[in-house]
Amino acid sequence: MNPIDLRSDTVTQPTPEMREAMAHAEVGDDVYGEDPTVNRLQELAAERLGKEAALFVPSGAMGNLVAMLTHCQRGDEAILGDLAHPYFYETGGLAALGGIQSRPLPNQPDGTLKLEDIRDAIREDDVHYPITRLVALENTHNRRNGIPLSAEYTAAVGKLARANNLLLHVDGARIFNAAVALRVPVSQLVAPADSVTFCLSKGLCAPVGSVLCGSTDFISKALRIRKQLGGGMRQAGILAAAGIISLEKMVNRLAEDHARARRLAAGLGELPQLKVAPQYTNIVRFQLADGVKMKPEEVVAKLAEQDIRIGHGGPWGFRAVTHYWIDDAAIEQTLDAFRKLFGD
């Protein structure tokens, strides 16, 4: 029996249609710009996000790093959330590889940064200060339970950034989840952004890759940074073929993942032994209620004995993420396992 793997939507494997497309992909040397399948993916991604151009990169972390290295010089400062993925999870790459100073601001419960906090964090033109160059947002926000940021909020940040000659980057690893949840075009969510990344290998189910989008001039510069970081791939069309199917076939079905996450959150919330965080998209966070003597590690281990895997750690103790390979039966089986675990 295949395990029910809810640790992350990064565990998704390619669909049979993706495997078929990968096997028959037309390829060339992408470093020379000659891979037709990569080129098609990049054109499709730019069109979907309303940007002039796009660049296929091996991972979301590299996409964020390439974007910020392209926007910023060494010693510049980037404003971002204290729970933002580039600040929290990407191994200090901004500082280690770019010499970029992070200016973390408190992420609010809804994933946003207060506009007044951003405004107050912008440095004056003083020789003693680093130059504030960039504001970065995350949509959906992972550590805020997958909450989507609205188009109106992003527009307000974009307006503030432009008024202060700053650039705006959106870490849109799950931006299509945000668009589906908010029922707005993805291009509207990122319209104010100078750059945006999104992952193909999460809810969109491709095995590898992310895409960085922006202006033609920006992507031309980003291409050089990608090469510097070792991200230039050769016959990458084998991977891009799956990404094309991600964009053409996997976006609209994300609503199914959200519905299953709602069912999971509701079922877990019925158990007195658990406290469940608000659920917005495909991420469900929860923790043991006060007074429960079982340790979190025991919960994870006992579920694993039933071939159910959940994430452990973070602000809410446990995380379960729905995706293409989690169907209705898997949700019910998971809930039954929790009921059995707590003796209900």
pLDDT in tens, 266-299: 999 999 999 999 999 999 999 999 989 899 999 9
The dihedral of CA 32, 35, 39, 45: what is its sign? Answer: negative
Last residue of a domain, one of 230, 249, 268: 249
Q: Are residues 106 and 187 in the same domain?
A: yes
Does residue 5 fall inside a structural domain?
no
pLDDT in tens, 111-150: 999 999 999 999 999 999 999 999 999 999 999 999 999 9
pLDDT in tens, 304-324: 999 999 999 766 689 999 999
Residue 98, Cβ neighbours under 10 Å: how many?
A: 21
Q: Are residues 332 and 230 in the same domain?
A: no
Last residue of a domain, one of 216, 249, 282: 249
At 90 the pLDDT is: 85
For residue 141, the enclosing domain spans 10-249
CA distance 344 to 342: 6
Q: Are residues 245 and 219 in the same domain?
A: yes
Main-chain phi, psi angles of 319, to 5 degrees: -140, 135
Q: Are residues 177 and 132 in the same domain?
A: yes
